Amino acid sequence: MPYRVCFVCTGNICRSPMAESVFRARVAEAGLAGLVEVDSAGTGGWHEGDGADPRTVSVLTAAGYEGDHAARRFQAAWFARLDLVIALDAGHLKALRRLAPTPEDAEKVRLLRSYDPAAGGDLDVPDPYYGGVDGFEECLEMVEAASEGLLAAVRTEVEGRAA
């Protein structure tokens, strides 16, 4: 059974699809593509079925990542099949932990930037939606920085299952 990771932001059109794309690339580079499944969702359903924000797609494409995406809303029932739920900011963390059916499910929720030792005390990835493309570029930098630590943690879990 693959290790399943889901990234969650507000509408699933900016931060979480960006994190999904970057992390999927990291997983593939690490040779873990068959062992780790990566997806994303939003805490709200305003954009369900929509593609990623064009600025997200532009920044991802310029950096060599995939930009194909369809937004969807996170469902509490998903906790049963997910191993790790990655929140993009503290608001998402709280919302997801409230949504979790059990305390064990709530423990699956972590902040993305908690995997970046250089992040310091500010663990939120700011929402770039209402700004310019520079906010999306900053978001990508934060996602890439945290993805290395997240990959190391996921690799440890995957290797632990194989042992």
Choose the catalytic residue: 4, 72, 73, 127.
Answer: 127
DSSP assignment of 96-117: HHHH-SSHHHHTTEEEGGGG-G
- Catalytic residue list contains 122: no
Distance CA 156, CA 163 (A): 11
Distance CA 37, CA 21 (A): 12
- Catalytic residue list contains 73: no
Contact assessment for residue 44 and residue 10, using Cβ atoms and an 8 Å cutoff: yes
- Catalytic residue list contains 89: no
Choose the catalytic residue: 15, 24, 26, 113.
Answer: 15
Distance CA 28, CA 7 (A): 17
CA nearest neighbour of 42 among 53, 32, 34: 53
Choose the catalytic residue: 6, 9, 14, 139.
Answer: 9
With tokens 């930037």, the residue in question is 113
Q: Give catalytic residues, as residue numbers.
A: 9, 15, 127
